[in-house]
């Protein structure tokens, strides 16, 4: 059992990440009181019904009042306006953090509104499922996953250390990283793969109209994984691509270059090129299993997550 890290925590936005944070903080007793706010009245009603947050407030300002930690859990594109709204009522010495998948843009949008005497420590937990909304969270979501802290220049090291303790208490491994580097790494490991999955599912759907839903019926392993990825929250992902534009476009450029090389190998019947490439990627998978981010077991370790 960890001990309390913050007296009061405010969660702004009550989706998958915020709700999982609430249950994870409760599991380990990391926060005295957790308040929550969501823009949609329906979401607030659901949160109250399922006991998500100790207190659900009807405004963001009310939720952040006297909070020692405020976590912005809204889509990346909404971070700036939300921060501008709550800035005047933040408690001196409080820490503001976020869980956005893009960091440079969030820093540019949020940082100018941070009042004197309030700390800002951006963060990004690398965890999720294809589900969204207040009912999708669970306490184990962050267990053994990475959470990246991206402190801005001049951030108080103590504020960063405290946020690190919170994430570790919620089960995550924590690393610190520069914002631009974060955005590039995520463009490779998450953003571009999502865009590609979305695209492939869209293509399949075009064909589905021709073939009377066979594509859905016969969705073997490959395609099934893509559809799961492509079921993620549309607003969140729209904002990710609009705000991590440069890194995503760079990786997409590399991707199409390599894809065209494989396409040429198929067209010309160059089996050696294909075999070499596929052997190489298999080794990368081995590296991931050894790094402990997945398991070799037939249920791919997902059964352990809930």
CA-to-CA distance for 171 and 194, rounded, in angstroms?
25
- Does 237 engage in binding with a copy of itself (CB under 8 A)? yes
Closest separation in Å from C-beta 190 to a copy of itself = 5
Interface pick for a copy of itself out of 130, 158, 176, 180 (rule CB under 8 A): 130
Residue list 75-104, contact with a copy of itself (CB under 8 A)? 77
First to last CA, the chain: 19
Of 1 and 291, CB closest to a copy of itself:
291
Minimum distance of a copy of itself from residue 16's CB (angstroms): 11
Q: Which of 38, 96, 139, 148 binds a copy of itself (CB under 8 A)?
A: 148
The answer to whether 303 contacts a copy of itself (rule: CB under 8 A) is yes
Q: Report the alpha-carbon angle 234-23-80, nearest 5.
A: 45
* Interface pick for a copy of itself out of 17, 127, 149, 179 (rule CB under 8 A): 127
Shortest reach from residue 88's CB to a copy of itself, in Å: 29
Q: What is the contact mask toward a copy of itself in residues 16 to 45, using x (rule: CB under 8 A)?
A: ------------------------------
| By the rule CB under 8 A, 204 interacts with a copy of itself | yes
Least separation in angstroms between residue 118's CB and a copy of itself is 29
Closer CB to a copy of itself, 32 or 193, in the complex: 193
Query: Is residue 208 a contact residue for a copy of itself (CB under 8 A)?
Result: yes
Tell me if 262 contacts a copy of itself by CB under 8 A: yes
Rule CB under 8 A: say whether 266 interacts with a copy of itself: yes
């Amino acid at each position: 059992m960890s001990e309390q890290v913050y007296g009061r925590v405010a969660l702004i936005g009550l989706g998958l990440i915020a709700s999982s944070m609430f249950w994870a903080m409760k599991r380990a007793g990391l926060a005295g009181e957790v308040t929550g706010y969501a823009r949609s009245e329906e979401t607030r009603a659901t949160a109250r019904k399922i006991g998500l947050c100790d207190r659900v407030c009807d405004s963001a300002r009310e939720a952040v009042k006297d909070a020692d930690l405020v976590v912005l859990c809204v889509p990346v594109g909404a971070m700036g306006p939300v921060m501008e709204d709550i800035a005047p009522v933040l408690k001196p010495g409080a820490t503001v953090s976020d869980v956005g998948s893009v960091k440079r843009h969030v820093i540019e949008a949020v940082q100018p509104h941070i009042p004197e005497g309030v700390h800002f420590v951006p963060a990004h937990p690398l965890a999720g499922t294809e589900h969204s909304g207040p009912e999708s969270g669970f306490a184990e979501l962050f267990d053994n996953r990475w959470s990246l802290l991206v402190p801005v220049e001049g951030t108080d090291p103590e504020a960063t250390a405290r946020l690190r303790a919170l994430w570790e208490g919620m089960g995550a491994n924590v690393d610190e990283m520069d914002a631009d580097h974060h955005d590039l790494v995520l463009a490779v490991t998450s953003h571009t793969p999502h865009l590609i999955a979305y695209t492939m599912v869209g293509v399949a759907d075009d064909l589905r109209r021709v073939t009377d839903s066979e594509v859905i019926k016969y969705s073997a392993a490959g395609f099934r994984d893509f559809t799961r990825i492509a079921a993620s929250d549309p607003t969140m992902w729209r904002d990710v691509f609009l705000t991590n534009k440069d890194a995503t476009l760079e990786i997409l450029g590399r991707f199409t270059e390599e894809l065209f090389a494989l396409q040429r190998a198929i067209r010309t019947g160059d089996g050696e090129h294909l075999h070499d490439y596929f052997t190489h990627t298999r080794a990368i998978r081995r590296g991931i299993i050894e790094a402990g981010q997945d398991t070799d077991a037939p249920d791919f370790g997902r059964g352990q997550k809930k």
